[in-house]
Amino acid sequence: MHKDIATPIRTKAILEKYGFSFKKSLGQNFLIDTNILGRIVDHAELTEESGAIEIGPGIGALTEQLAKRSKKVVAFEIDQRLLPILNETLSPYDNVKIIHQDILKADVRGVIKEQFSEIKDLMVVANLPYYVTTPIIMKLLEEHLPIRGIVVMLQKEVADRIAAVPGTKEYGSLSIAIQYYTKAETVMVVPKTVFVPQPNVDSAVIRLTKRDKPIVEVKDETFFFYVVRASFAQRRKTILNNLTSQLPDGKEKKEVILAALDSVGIDPTRRGETLSIEEFARLSDGLLGFSESVTE
């Protein structure tokens, strides 16, 4: 039986053997606790018929656990120095494919078609590099990929923002963007001590379960997200002030914005963080109607 990759001793031995040094720019922190890795995989609820997509496999610690519990794993790794290491550490598993590519530039849908043609149940499971967490999650959701969901480890503070509810200081446009597509829940908090090198922040694992259709129906999705971002532009400001300063010609159209707020029953003195996703949907549809009638 080969030894698990994710032990402090084995990790150290692998890194020394290959003379590997961590690149700060790639946000590399490797997990050295098999129990925690096992629990992350538990939250993905994989079966022997599932496929897993991993991003940033590092030296293969999480990849190995995914390989043991799924039919196939495809991992995207940007750092070519890790390819020979992964080749060795994952050699016992014939159900793993490593793709040397930046996930943000990759044609993920094409890869899914090619690599998982037989597989119906697909999950993304990853320990994400902290500096690109949000763009990666948003890419996976905006591309409407045929996945069941995403289980990722990320900075606890970002996890808190993703799963936040209205009326809290963490709640913002990121919470809404992700909850629009998924049901978001923080499933575990991970101390910094189980990584090498130790990050400066605690981590959390978040599970995003894809909705069959977005949580709200809006007339114009792009405009909806635009209104959401505008409403949080300056957190201290009221929704009316943010919208008038952010929307095109907002200052000249203050009356139009007030009328739109009134038509959907939202008090203009409220702040963005008190509005639910449903209220933002009503507001963006209302504003769309008003701005169209103004421009016609």
Please name the residue that has the structure tokens 């000249």: 252
Which candidate, 246, 243, 249, places its Cα nearest to that of 275?
243
Which candidate, 78, 147, 67, places its Cα nearest to that of 109?
147
CB 46 within 8 A of CB 70: yes
Please name the residue that has the structure tokens 């009356």: 255
How many residues in the chain?
Answer: 296
Please state the separation of Cα 156 from the chain's center in Å. Answer: 12
- For 58: left if phi > 0, alpha if psi spans -120 to 50, otherwise beta; the answer is left
29 marked among binding-site residues = yes
77 marked among binding-site residues = yes
Give binding residues as ranges.
29, 31, 56, 77, 102, 127
Give binding residues for S-adenosyl-L-methionine as ranges.
29, 31, 56, 77, 102, 127
